[in-house]
């Protein structure tokens, strides 16, 4: 099998080391438009479909695995997509420390690493601490769209959002089916297609911001001295 040479499209790739303070999305994209962020973009299947279907939206993809990040950058560049940017970074650190307040219209989180062993659960991205950062970044009508094949992680997602619903910080909404989802698919990513062949179920949940000032992060064991 012959593999194509991956190209580094400087107009698509945003280098973490070049970030100085909070990211200015209007400057990064060269225009002001609604911003959608995908955490864990993989090879960019979701981003390609969404960016083509919604040219008036700016899509910002975050991927930690270098081989997937490079593939996604190459893919976006070859498609000539002007409304997508990619960065290789730790998503929790990036959102917490470098995203501006009230700047993101939707967070897309599809099939994140479930870290199935109990001792590794603290590494899962979707948790109370990271939800607090997400809420800070969301615009007044901002949304969170989640999907996973891992039932235990889905239960954690449900618990975290349940606390946001209970305090009035967020309200439930229907899952937004991505443009690239084909017949029988919920999300339309490579991971979902792989998992469907293995007979795995896809679990989804979504929420919209109600009042971010009402969110109070629960006290966890590791916070107690």
Beta-carbon-side half-sphere exposure of residue 100 (alpha carbons within 13 Å) = 16
* Per-residue pLDDT at 194 exceeds 60: yes
Question: Using one digit for the tens of pLDDT, what is the confidence trace for 39-64?
Answer: 999 999 999 999 999 999 999 999 99
Assess contact for 14 and 41: CB atoms under 8 A.
no
Give yes or no: 97 in active site: no
What is the average pLDDT value for the chain, to the nearest integer? Answer: 93
Residue 225 has what pLDDT?
41
Domain boundaries, the chain: 23-217
Hey, how many other C-beta atoms are within 10 angstroms of the C-beta on 15? 10
Tally of helices (H runs) and strands (E runs) in the chain: 7, 8
pLDDT the model gives residue 224: 41
Please name the residues in contact with 221: beta carbons below 8 A apart, sequence gap of 6 or more: none
- Confidence (pLDDT) at 215: 96
Residues 146 and 175: their CA atoms lie apart, in Å, by: 8
Rounded average pLDDT over 57-77:
96
Give domain 23-217's CATH superfamily: Vaccinia Virus protein VP39 (3.40.50.150)
Q: What does the pLDDT look like over 114-139, one tens digit per residue?
A: 999 999 999 999 999 999 999 999 99
Out of 113, 128, 152, 183, pick the active-site residue: 113
């Amino acid at each position: 099998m012959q593999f194509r040479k991956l190209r580094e499209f400087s107009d698509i790739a945003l280098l973490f080391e070049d970030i100085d303070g909070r990211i200015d999305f209007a400057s990064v994209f060269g225009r002001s438009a609604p911003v959608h962020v995908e955490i864990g973009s993989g090879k960019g299947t979701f981003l390609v479909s969404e960016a083509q279907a919604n040219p008036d939206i700016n899509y910002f993809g975050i991927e930690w695995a270098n081989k997937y990040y490079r593939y996604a950058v190459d893919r976006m560049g070859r498609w000539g997509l002007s409304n997508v940017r990619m960065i290789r970074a730790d998503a929790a650190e990036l959102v917490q420390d470098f995203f501006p307040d009230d700047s993101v219209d939707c967070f897309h989180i599809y099939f994140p690493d479930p870290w199935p062993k109990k001792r590794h659960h603290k590494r899962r991205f979707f948790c109370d601490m990271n939800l607090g950062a997400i809420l800070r970044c969301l615009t007044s009508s901002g949304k969170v769209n989640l999907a996973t094949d891992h039932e235990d992680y889905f239960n954690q997602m449900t618990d975290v959002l349940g606390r946001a619903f209970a305090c009035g910080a967020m309200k439930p909404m229907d899952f937004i089916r991505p443009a690239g989802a084909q017949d029988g698919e919920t999300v339309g990513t490579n991971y979902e297609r792989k998992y469907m062949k293995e007979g795995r179920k896809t679990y989804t949940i979504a929420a919209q911001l109600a009042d971010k000032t009402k969110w109070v992060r629960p006290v966890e064991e590791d916070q107690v001295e």
